[in-house]
Amino acid sequence: MSATSRTETVAMLTKLTREMRATILEMITQAASGHPGGSLSAIDFIAALFTTRLKHDPKNPSWVDRDRFILSKGHAVPALYVTLAHQGYFDAKLLPTLRQLGSPLQGHPVNRFMTACEAPTGSLGQGLSVAQGIALAGKLDGKSYKTFCLMGDGEIQEGQVWEAAMSAAKFKLDNLVAIVDWNGGQIDGSITEVMPSLEPVVAKFEAFGWDVKEIDGHDFNAILDAIAWADGAGDKPKCIVSRTVKGKGVSFVEHPTKYHGAALSKDELAKALAELKEAK
Amino acid sequence: MSTIKPIATRQAFGEALAAIGATHPEVVVLDADLSKSTKSELFAKKFPERFIQMGIAEQNMLGVAAGLGLSGKIPFACSFACFIAGRFETIKISVAYAGSPVRIVGTHAGVGIGEDGYSQMGLEDIGLMRVLPEMVVLQPADDVETAAMVRWLVEESKAPAYLRLTRQNVRRVHAEGWTWTPGKMDVLREGTDVAIIASGGPVMNALDAAEELAKSGLSVAVANLSSIKPLDAAGIEALSRKVKLIVTVEDHNVLTGAGSAVAEVVASLKGAHARVHRHGVMDTFGESGTPESLYDKHRLDAKGIAAVVREQLAD
Ligand SMILES: Cc1ncc(C[n+]2csc(CCOP(=O)(O)OP(=O)(O)O)c2C)c(N)n1
């Protein structure tokens, strides 16, 4: 990326993610179930990663040398599906079939329904281990692909995440990048209410042997810098703690719990779409 | 009876737990960030000091519950059935082998949860829980049965136990004045040709299927198998002597579930007895869809159950 194109890239992403937010909310309302909050907090990072960084081939989703992306907090899958459709993995006409019987757009990512999902997620806490196995295979085979794994801040309360954190450092997996979408919310409350001792999260990953970078996860300059940083030198696995807002982009959806797993009503959707249209 | 509003057994559970908490200070409730869904929040609101929020860490929750149970508490540890099943070995050692009276509550049983898809569906949990020695495995069919089980788990039983509950609303299948007898299968409808032994959410559909089959002259008994362990072997035997076909129905993998428990009993019987056909989720993964479309696909609605019975009679 040349220096001049950074401004253009940020402008492109700003516009794109605004449209994607609208589509995500439409899909969830159409399905009358799903998870708006965690999809909207993660979309900026996912869209930026796919459009600017991942080496992949939508026409050949099982290309052996592709970079991998695992959405470990699988309930945010609408954010992945809009991105995959935008990248050309499937026809965007399929997006409204989310969660319907027979649709490849399952309620949580499933690789047997869609290869680009890479693994089934939705049971929180499993993605980082699978990502690690993929990264380890890359090392064993002398391949240069990278594996990215995005988790929720609630999700990393699972013990398995910390088992994975421990062993990834042992295996010096510099080809593994974890992203924690720290939006401060889960279901029964905010992270501060449910599990305050999860902080300091940066120090925890560092203590487990990772290089850690903390960013504003809605600032595309910061996201692009962090993605470049993760490609930098060093033999440690990399963790990006992305500080975000649950429900980001629509004023009344921005809340740590309210729209975790509740679809917007038709009226709410209309309000949200109007707001997104006006946004700059 | 038709005036009674159908409610989910998880809702009945939450209400019963919140009620019994008042007279039983030794009851403590743990949840792993799903209290709004498991309905343990009804207890949490009334007794915040005895509600233990463990965060999204089910394995730790079950271990902590085991320790509480070993120290004089009656712990209810709640999550979705699928996430409970995922922590099997912790349950095997820290709960069952330890003999800790943990009341493990798994809600959102089966394909009946709908749109979330297979990762959120408990379809293997009955099999995993009933394979553990001394473990009590209960699956109520309606609200009154759920409440009776909660009371029994607090006031009578001391064994480690698993309670499997629905996300979806279910109709009351028990008549006014009915009382639950622990360990007994209850016959909801008499019949002499076929017996449907159902468990959990599909029990009400089995009753409707029997009604439907009666129109074509078939006499169909319906039994509610809510105590999967301990199992009412005598009750199952009695039914199997009376009819020529038993069809078991459940929202669980047809391998290892309530139907397998029935078949295990009948297979050992000497003399003439009914053939057993097990019906449920036929050893496939679940998927996304509305609860109704999935019950249609897996033939767990009344129409589907009636069709399965007809097929089995024709064979
Ligand atoms: C093992 C497991 N336990 C519980 C759940 C139910 N669940 C789904 S989403 C969620 C909260 C997730 O919080 P977080 O990871 O912070 O996601 P976000 O806030 O970004 O949506 C829970 C508890 C699950 N999917 N998997």
CA of A12 to nearest chain B CA: how many angstroms apart?
32
Cα angle, residue A57 at apex, residues A53 and A61 outer, rounded to 5°: 115
Q: What residues have CB less than 8 Å from A59, skipping those under 6 apart?
A: A88
pLDDT of residue B67: 98
In this complex, the residue of A107, A108, A188 whose CB is nearest that of residue B35 is A188
CA of B67 to the centre of ligand 1 (A): 25
Chain segment A222-246, per-residue pLDDT in tens: 999 999 999 998 999 999 999 999 9
Question: B156: domain CATH number?
Answer: 3.40.50.970
Q: DSSP readout, B60-107?
A: HHHHHHHHHHTTT-EEEEEEEHHHHHTTHHHIIIIIIITT---EEEEE
- CA-nearest residue for atom 9, ligand 1, is A75
Structural contact between residues B219 and B192, judged by C-beta atoms closer than 8 angstroms: yes
- Ligand 1 near A155 CB (within 6 A): yes
Q: What is the ipTM of this complex?
A: 0.96
Ligand 1 mutation pick, A35, A106, A124, A151, max ligand atoms within 8 A of CB: A124
Residue B218 φ/ψ, nearest 5 degrees: -90, 135
| Cα A17 to Cα A50: distance, rounded to the nearest angstrom | 12
Ligand 1: atom nearest CA of A151 is 15
Count how many domains chain B has.
2
Q: Is the pLDDT of residue A3 over 70?
A: no
User: Tokens 């992403």 sit at which residue?
Assistant: A13
Q: Is the pLDDT of residue A279 over 90?
A: no
Residue B283 φ/ψ, nearest 5 degrees: 55, 45
Whether residue B100 is contained in a domain is answered as yes
- Same domain, residue pair B106 and B234: no
A158–B33 C-beta distance less than 8 A? no
Q: In chain A, what's the furthest Cα-to-Cα distance?
A: 53
Banded model confidence at residue B2, pLDDT cuts 50, 70, 90: low
- Same domain, residue pair B74 and B201: no
- Same domain, residue pair B19 and B97: yes
Q: What residues have CB less than 8 Å from A41, skipping those under 6 apart?
A: A76, A181, A183, A217, A244, A245, A246, A247, A248
CA of B272 to nearest chain A CA: how many angstroms apart?
43
Q: What residues have CB less than 8 Å from B173, skipping those under 6 apart?
A: B141, B142, B188, B203, B204, B207, B224
- Same domain, residue pair B28 and B140: yes
pLDDT of residue B3: 79
A186–B119 C-beta distance less than 8 A? no
pLDDT of residue A207: 98
Count how many domains chain A has.
1
Q: Is the pLDDT of residue A4 over 80?
A: no
What does the pLDDT average to over B251-276?
Answer: 98
CB pairs under 8 A between A and B: 90
Banded model confidence at residue A165, pLDDT cuts 50, 70, 90: very high
Whether the CB of A100 is below 8 Å from some CB of chain B: the reply is: yes
B145 is catalytic: no
Banded model confidence at residue A2, pLDDT cuts 50, 70, 90: low
Whether the CB of A99 is below 8 Å from some CB of chain B: the reply is: yes
Average pLDDT over chain A, rounded to an integer: 97
Ligand 1: atom nearest CA of B86 is 1
Whether residue B2 is contained in a domain is answered as no
What does the pLDDT average to over A45-72?
Answer: 98
Average pLDDT over chain B, rounded to an integer: 97
- Same domain, residue pair B200 and B61: no
- Ligand 1 near B34 CB (within 6 A): yes
What does the pLDDT average to over B151-168?
Answer: 98
- Same domain, residue pair B56 and B164: yes
Q: Is the pLDDT of residue B315 over 70?
A: no
- Same domain, residue pair B81 and B160: yes
Question: A252: domain CATH number?
Answer: 3.40.50.970
Chain A residue at shortest CA distance from B114: A99
- Ligand 1 near A73 CB (within 6 A): yes
- Ligand 1 near A189 CB (within 6 A): no
Q: Which residues of A touch B36 (CB under 8 A)?
A: 187-188
High-pLDDT (> 70) share of chain A, %: 98
Whether the CB of B289 is below 8 Å from some CB of chain A: the reply is: yes
Chain segment B119-149, per-residue pLDDT in tens: 999 999 999 999 999 999 999 999 999 999 9
Whether the CB of A123 is below 8 Å from some CB of chain B: the reply is: yes
pLDDT of residue A30: 98
Question: B301: domain CATH number?
Answer: 3.40.50.920
- Ligand 1 near B33 CB (within 6 A): yes
B116–A108 C-beta distance less than 8 A? yes
- Same domain, residue pair B66 and B102: yes
Segments forming the whole domain that contains residue B113: 7-170
Whether the CB of A199 is below 8 Å from some CB of chain B: the reply is: no
Catalytic residue chosen out of the listed positions B15, B58, B124, B145: B58
- Ligand 1 near B56 CB (within 6 A): yes
- Same domain, residue pair B142 and B238: no
- Same domain, residue pair B207 and B298: yes
Ligand 1: atom nearest CA of A125 is 1
Query: What is the rounded end-to-end Cα distance, in angstroms, of chain A?
Result: 24
Tell which residue, A147, A146, A116, has the closest CA to residue A130: A147
Which one is predicted more confidently, B47 or A233? B47
| Cα A220 to Cα A48: distance, rounded to the nearest angstrom | 8
pLDDT of residue A71: 98
Whether residue B289 is contained in a domain is answered as yes
- Ligand 1 near B83 CB (within 6 A): yes
Q: What residues have CB less than 8 Å from B75, skipping those under 6 apart?
A: B28, B29, B30, B65, B66, B68, B69, B101, B102, B103
Q: Which two tokens stand for residue B170?
A: 């279910």
Chain segment A188-208, per-residue pLDDT in tens: 999 999 999 999 999 999 999
- Same domain, residue pair B24 and B154: yes
- Same domain, residue pair B19 and B161: yes
CA of A73 to the centre of ligand 1 (A): 7
Q: Which residues of A touch B55 (CB under 8 A)?
A: 154, 157, 186, 194-195, 198
Chain segment A119-137, per-residue pLDDT in tens: 999 999 999 999 999 999 9
B59–A159 C-beta distance less than 8 A? yes
Whether residue B122 is contained in a domain is answered as yes
Whether residue B180 is contained in a domain is answered as no
| B29, B35, B116: best to mutate for the A interface, most A CBs within 10 A | B116
Segments forming the whole domain that contains residue A224: 3-278
pLDDT of residue A233: 86
Whether the CB of B219 is below 8 Å from some CB of chain A: the reply is: no
Whether residue B179 is contained in a domain is answered as no
CA of A71 to the centre of ligand 1 (A): 12
Banded model confidence at residue B273, pLDDT cuts 50, 70, 90: very high
Whether the CB of A103 is below 8 Å from some CB of chain B: the reply is: yes
